[in-house]
Amino acid sequence: MSLVKPFQGLVYDPAKVTDMSKVVCPPYDVISPEEELRLQKRSPYNFIHVMLAKADARHGTDDTRYEKAGETFRQWIRDGILVQDQKPCIYYIKQEYKIVGQRHSRMGFLAVMKIEDEKARIYPHEKTHAGAKEDRFKLWCALKAACSPIFVCFSDRQKKVEGTFARKVAQSKPFIDVVEADGTRTIAWRLDDPVLIGDITGSFNDQNLFIADGHHRYEVSRRYREMMLEQNPNATGEEPWNYVMTYFTNIDSKELQIFPIHRIIKSFPKDLAFLEEIFRMDFVKNRLDLPVMMAKAGRNEHAVGLYTKKGAFLLRLKNMMQIDQFIKEGSKDYRGLDSLILKAFVLDKLEVKSEDITYCNMDIDGCFNAIDNGQGEAAFILNPVRIEQLRAIALNGEKMPPKSTYFYPKALSGIALYSLG
């Protein structure tokens, strides 16, 4: 019994869908309302019509939107829009992108991972919300399929996955080659050689695996499995619903990028003197210098950026001993999270409610513009969580607060789907 194995994916038939860029889409939880509308108009077969199905006159306004998603999904299969691959595959995915003008390339692959008991070496790192899990569970039940993978990091210091790709896959024709609106290029290939696949998947059985993204989907997969086990008491353990579709990438790669998620606060005191009780405050003349100054300061101390109508400031925690006074829960690794320090020392003291916080992924300019345009009174800019922090906290059995990490780029939805039936 393997922890990781190939699967026969449901994929778009290139004879019916000639332009794959019109049908794939980002994961549901990073799609803005504006982007959702654009994706809906891009093609009647864009995966958004299943992943975020909308209620209509026939399907009402509540949970029947999941019924609509299921009907659409099954109709696409009947019409041959989606077809199942004939052989079990792993699906290599290469993503080429730029950050501040510098080119990057991340390699990973899609496979399915065994859903095991709590003793398994699969470590989540982030807390989840009940509402989001209920939404995805209802969708999975309607589809009897997983439409988006979870994102898992594994250790491949010998670069076995990349080596196999270079030797056996790179020269073959990809079945997907698309460029997203942000310039990210995603290329996907199949690998169906059982010997090569076995060599790759066999290396997973004795190592720790870390869930980087898709924590809600992972918990949904566990709940779906529990439901199916109740309905099938004589299950063998190898039924499709005992596995979760997973995108794997190398945790040791320099191309694994974690971005921070910044906080925009709706209402904030105009007098900032109270912050000087806790932080050393340095005024930053050019706000564009703030990220560089934060990164430098963050190597040896806890640093947070602040932007208000008064300008940009670098905040550095004065006394490390205060962390243990104000944050009682968790290990030293957990208490050292900048997002937790910001919450404990500033947001909780000001009694800032969660509904008064807007989260901003990656885009510092967007944070600045939000304050300039009156969409908030303060923006807190964070340094990214380091891989070592994520690994340590996960191995401690702890989970970070939601919106702590943003892995980039995201794995697209619609490349391959996993049938649970």
Give the lowest-confidence range in 8-17, 87-96, 199-208, 283-292: 199-208
Same domain, 119 and 11: yes
Specify the pLDDT at position 362: 66
Query: Is the predicted pLDDT of residue 320 greater than 90, yes or no?
Result: no
Ranked by mean pLDDT, the top range of 23-37, 237-251, 327-341 is 237-251
Q: Give the tens place of pLDDT for each residue, 5-15.
A: 999 999 999 99
Same domain, 272 and 241: no
Same domain, 280 and 189: no
Specify the pLDDT at position 259: 92
Query: Is the predicted pLDDT of residue 1 greater than 60, yes or no?
Result: no
Query: Is the predicted pLDDT of residue 59 greater than 60, yes or no?
Result: no
Same domain, 118 and 206: yes
Q: Is residue 139 part of a domain?
A: yes
Give the lowest-confidence range in 50-59, 313-322, 409-418: 50-59
Same domain, 30 and 132: yes
Q: Is residue 33 part of a domain?
A: yes
Q: Determine the average pLDDT of the residues in 215-235.
A: 95
Give the lowest-confidence range in 181-190, 242-251, 374-383, 396-405: 396-405
**Euclidean distance between CA atoms 340 and 344, whole angstroms:** 6
Query: Is the predicted pLDDT of residue 328 greater than 90, yes or no?
Result: no
Same domain, 108 and 230: yes
Structure-model confidence comparison of residues 61 and 394, the more confident one: 394
Specify the pLDDT at position 61: 52
Query: Is the predicted pLDDT of residue 56 greater than 50, yes or no?
Result: no
Q: What is the number of structural domains in the chain?
A: 2
Q: Is residue 393 part of a domain?
A: no
Specify the pLDDT at position 228: 97
Split at pLDDT 50, 70, 90, the class of 95 is: very high
Query: Is the predicted pLDDT of residue 265 greater than 90, yes or no?
Result: yes
| Tally of residues, the chain | 421
Split at pLDDT 50, 70, 90, the class of 60 is: very low
Q: Under a CB-based contact definition with an 8 Å cutoff, are residues 198 and 164 in contact?
A: no
Main-chain phi, psi angles of 212, to 5 degrees? -90, -40
Structure-model confidence comparison of residues 337 and 101, the more confident one: 337
Give the lowest-confidence range in 136-145, 293-302, 395-404: 395-404
Specify the pLDDT at position 21: 96
Q: Is residue 403 part of a domain?
A: no
Q: Determine the average pLDDT of the residues in 316-326.
A: 87
Specify the pLDDT at position 212: 92
Beta bridge partners of 185: 96, 179
Specify the pLDDT at position 414: 96
Specify the pLDDT at position 417: 97
Structure-model confidence comparison of residues 2 and 319, the more confident one: 319
Specify the pLDDT at position 241: 97
Same domain, 415 and 334: no
282 — alpha (psi -120 to 50), left (phi > 0) or beta?
Answer: beta
Q: Determine the average pLDDT of the residues in 46-61.
A: 71
Same domain, 283 and 214: no
Query: Is the predicted pLDDT of residue 354 greater than 70, yes or no?
Result: yes
Query: Is the predicted pLDDT of residue 308 greater than 70, yes or no?
Result: yes
Q: Give the tens place of pLDDT for each residue, 149-168.
A: 999 999 998 889 999 999 99
Structural domain span for residue 377: 261-383
Same domain, 250 and 325: no
Q: Determine the average pLDDT of the residues in 72-81.
A: 98
Instruction: Find the CATH number of the domain harbouring 278.
Output: 3.30.1760
**Euclidean distance between CA atoms 96 and 88, whole angstroms:** 26
Specify the pLDDT at position 118: 62
Q: Determine the average pLDDT of the residues in 165-184.
A: 94
Same domain, 185 and 79: yes
Q: Please state, for a pLDDT cut of 70, what percent of the chain lies above it.
A: 96
Q: Is residue 392 part of a domain?
A: no
Q: What is the mean pLDDT of the chain?
A: 92
Q: Determine the average pLDDT of the residues in 310-335.
A: 90
Same domain, 69 and 146: yes
Query: Is the predicted pLDDT of residue 42 greater than 50, yes or no?
Result: yes
Q: Is residue 167 part of a domain?
A: yes
Q: Determine the average pLDDT of the residues in 210-228.
A: 94
Q: Is residue 404 part of a domain?
A: no
Q: Residue 95: which residues within 8 A CB-CB, separation 6 or more?
A: 105, 106, 108, 184, 185, 186, 187, 409
Specify the pLDDT at position 274: 92
Q: Give the tens place of pLDDT for each residue, 131-151.
A: 889 999 999 999 999 989 999
Q: Is residue 151 part of a domain?
A: yes
Query: Is the predicted pLDDT of residue 58 greater than 70, yes or no?
Result: no
Same domain, 311 and 184: no
